[in-house]
Amino acid sequence: MKHYLLSVVTPADGVAPAPEELEQIMRRVQGFHRELEEAGAWVFDGGLSSPSSATVVRAKDGDTVLTDGPYAEGKEYLGGLSIVRAPHLDAALDWGRKAALAIGLPIEVRPFEGEVED
């Protein structure tokens, strides 16, 4: 069985939804997660803090250097993720469609290298 990464593509200049809208989104997301679990496709999921909270660790001359903030500036960032089990890309894309409908943001679907033994 393959594992796929469903990345939530979040606009960097986006406006947070109103509390009532966010509540509805979260209900849809919880339903999506329940559906993943019931189908045996759920592996892991989570939301991420904004890129401004990031620290980049770089190897340099046999040591490491820490830098605050994101590695690169962008118009979009990884806002959350799900890792799902799916027998093939089309099944993973179906999960991506359901995630996009639940969250209302673009979802990038990307396979992990190789197969995973369950």
Residue 82 sits in a domain whose CATH number is 3.30.70.1060
- Phi/psi at 112 (5° precision): -75, 155
Any idea which residue has 């250097």 for tokens?
Answer: 65
Tell whether 117 is covered by a domain.
no
Q: Encode pLDDT of 46-71 as tens digits.
A: 999 989 899 999 999 999 999 998 77
| Calpha distance 43→66 (Å, rounded) | 31
- Count the domains in the chain: 1
Question: What domain range is 92 assigned to?
Answer: 2-111
Tell whether 116 is covered by a domain.
no
Q: How far apart are the first and last CA of the chain?
A: 7
Tell whether 118 is covered by a domain.
no
> In whole angstroms, how far apart are CA 105 and each of 5, 36, 50, 118?
15, 18, 16, 30
Q: What is the dihedral of CA 99, 104, 108, 109, to 10 degrees?
A: 20
Tell whether 25 is covered by a domain.
yes
Selected residue with higher pLDDT from 103 and 14? 103
Of the pLDDT bands very low, low, confident and very high (cuts 50, 70, 90), residue 28 is very high
Tell whether 43 is covered by a domain.
yes
